[in-house]
Amino acid sequence: MSAAVPDKAVSGEAVPRACPEQAFVRVRVWDLPVRVVHWLLVLALVVLSVTGFLIGNPQLRLGGDAYWVTWVRTVHEITAFVFIDLILARVAWHVLSPNRWSRWTEWIPSTRERRRLIIPSLRFYLFIDREAPEVVGHNPLAGMTYAVLYTMFAAEIFTGVALWGVEGRSWAAFLTGWVFHVVSLPTIRLIHHMIMWLTWGFMIHHLYSAMLVDRVEGTGVISSIFSGSKFLPKDRL
């Protein structure tokens, strides 16, 4: 019955904005490469964070093996190469993807319409407005956040390569050795370490924001990163 919607609104339970009579359509928003890269990045970040933390705290002496840190470093370095490949693949897909919601225009608000939605997106996240901006993929504020995140990833990769150069990798030293004429080694290590913690801060906020939008809109935001599809009102398309 239509009276069910006002009852939920009075109780404070989130209700999808579309009325019950409105037709919903299934839209493929996230194509397969985006979803694969997304989950492989999550896995890589977990491995890199754990191994990086252990490398920075060798006094933990896992398993009592004096040489355990060598194995940890090896896992960290192999995973780092996988991470670099994933980042390059995602950047390339920004240009090559036939799916408009996977392209770079979702991260950089290049149109007036996208820029117009920045403030409404901010107002929603600050709980000033109760309704999320009507978008299919990312709202522009979330897209710009991803652009900042990948800039952080670029800095993480650069500082990691610089640290490889210090450890004796000639190719890494050739590419990044100049940076130590500008920034000290401890500073490079600090930046590398801090970006890890900032990334985890983003991941926590990312999960919270996805759950918030999913609850408010009721369009399947959480499930879409698995299935690739959202269920959206026809008028939004």
Instruction: Give the pLDDT score at 170.
Output: 86
Which DSSP symbol is given to 236? G
> Which residues lie closer than 8 Å to 219 by C-beta, 6 or more apart?
16, 230, 231, 232
How large is the average pLDDT for residues 159-187?
Answer: 91
Instruction: Give the pLDDT score at 197.
Output: 94
Residue 10 has pLDDT above 70, yes or no: no
Higher pLDDT, 68 or 15: 68
Instruction: Give the pLDDT score at 2.
Output: 38
Instruction: Give the pLDDT score at 84.
Output: 97
Q: Can you say whether residue 127 is alpha, beta or left, with left for phi > 0 and alpha for psi between -120 and 50 degrees? A: left
How many residues are there in the chain?
A: 237
Which DSSP symbol is given to 182? T
- The alpha carbon of 129 is separated from its chain's Cα centroid by a whole number of angstroms, namely 24
What are 13-53's pLDDT values in tens digits?
344 444 445 577 888 889 999 999 999 999 999 999 999 98
Q: Quick check: 233 and 22 in contact, CB under 8 A?
A: yes
Most confident segment among 29-43, 127-141, 199-213 = 29-43
| pTM, 2 dp | 0.81
What are 148-167's pLDDT values in tens digits?
999 999 999 999 999 999 88
Q: What is the mean pLDDT of the chain?
A: 84
In which band, very low, low, confident or very high, does the pLDDT at 61 lie, cut at 50, 70 and 90? low
